[in-house]
């Protein structure tokens, strides 16, 4: 019998010693979409929970770094969009504008406050005019774009809950009597 994706993910996490955000999301997706999980899947989730509790597997935080360029582009985008929206009846999608500009600018990642400060100073000195240019181009394209897809769904922010409570809730929801049977 072929192993389920949950079992494969748990085995990978046990082998690596890490549960990545992508692995966590995939387990959640499988559990949310499954009508019923198999005993093997429950057992794999139980193994994962135990391994997380003992430290055998470490949950990798969602974000251990920041992209300073995101905050700089967002600040510039907010200022320009507010300017336009206050003087016209136009409503612009800030997310679309920032994403367009970010896709055309270099990332500036940092893992410490000192690194982030350095990246900000570097960007303001060397890249400020390029940031302004890309935000302007993004706004111009947004203003010229017809509204073809009004049914588009925005990306929803992920919950910031910790991994252990999520797994515990999944186990309780999908296997309420598992421990009493085991």
Sequential pLDDT tens for the chain (182 residues): 445 589 999 999 999 999 988 888 888 888 888 888 889 999 999 999 999 999 999 888 777 788 999 999 999 999 999 899 889 888 888 999 999 999 999 999 999 889 999 999 999 999 999 999 999 999 999 988 766 666 666 666 655 555 666 666 666 666 666 555 44
Q: Per the domain annotation, does 135 fall within a domain?
A: yes
Tell me, what's the pLDDT at 43?
Answer: 92
φ and ψ at 91, to 5 degrees?
A: -115, 125
Tell me, what's the pLDDT at 164?
Answer: 65
Identify whether residues 45 and 82 lie together within a single domain: no
Domain that includes residue 24, residue range: 5-62
Q: Per the domain annotation, does 150 fall within a domain?
A: no
Identify whether residues 92 and 132 lie together within a single domain: yes
Tell me, what's the pLDDT at 2?
Answer: 47
Quote the pTM value. 0.56
Identify whether residues 16 and 55 lie together within a single domain: yes
Q: Which of 173, 163, 176 is nearest to 53 (CA)?
A: 163
Residue 84, C-beta contacts closer than 8 angstroms, at least 6 positions apart: 90, 92, 139
Q: Per the domain annotation, does 181 fall within a domain?
A: no
Identify whether residues 51 and 73 lie together within a single domain: no
Identify whether residues 22 and 90 lie together within a single domain: no
Looking at the structure of the chain, the number of domains it has is 2
Tell me, what's the pLDDT at 61?
Answer: 78
Tell me, what's the pLDDT at 3?
Answer: 54
Q: Per the domain annotation, does 182 fall within a domain?
A: no
Identify whether residues 28 and 51 lie together within a single domain: yes
Identify whether residues 77 and 25 lie together within a single domain: no
Residue 38, C-beta contacts closer than 8 angstroms, at least 6 positions apart: 4
């Amino acid at each position: 019998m072929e192993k389920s994706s949950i079992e494969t993910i748990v085995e990978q996490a046990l082998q690596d010693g890490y549960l990545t955000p992508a692995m966590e999301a995939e387990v959640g997706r499988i559990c949310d979409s499954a009508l019923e999980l198999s005993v093997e899947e429950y057992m794999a989730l139980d193994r994962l929970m135990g391994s997380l509790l003992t430290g055998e597997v470490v949950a990798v935080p969602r974000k251990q770094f920041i992209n300073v360029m995101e905050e700089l582009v967002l600040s510039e985008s907010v200022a320009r969009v507010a300017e336009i929206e206050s003087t016209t009846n136009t409503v612009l999608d800030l997310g679309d504008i920032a994403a367009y500009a970010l896709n055309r600018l270099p990332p500036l990642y940092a893992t410490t406050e000192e690194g982030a400060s350095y990246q900000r100073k570097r960007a303001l000195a060397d890249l400020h005019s390029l940031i302004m240019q890309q935000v302007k181009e993004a706004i111009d394209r947004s203003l010229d774009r017809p509204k073809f897809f009004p049914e588009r769904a925005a990306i929803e922010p992920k919950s910031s809950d910790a991994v252990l409570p999520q797994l515990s809730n999944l186990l309780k929801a999908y296997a309420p009597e598992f421990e009493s049977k085991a």
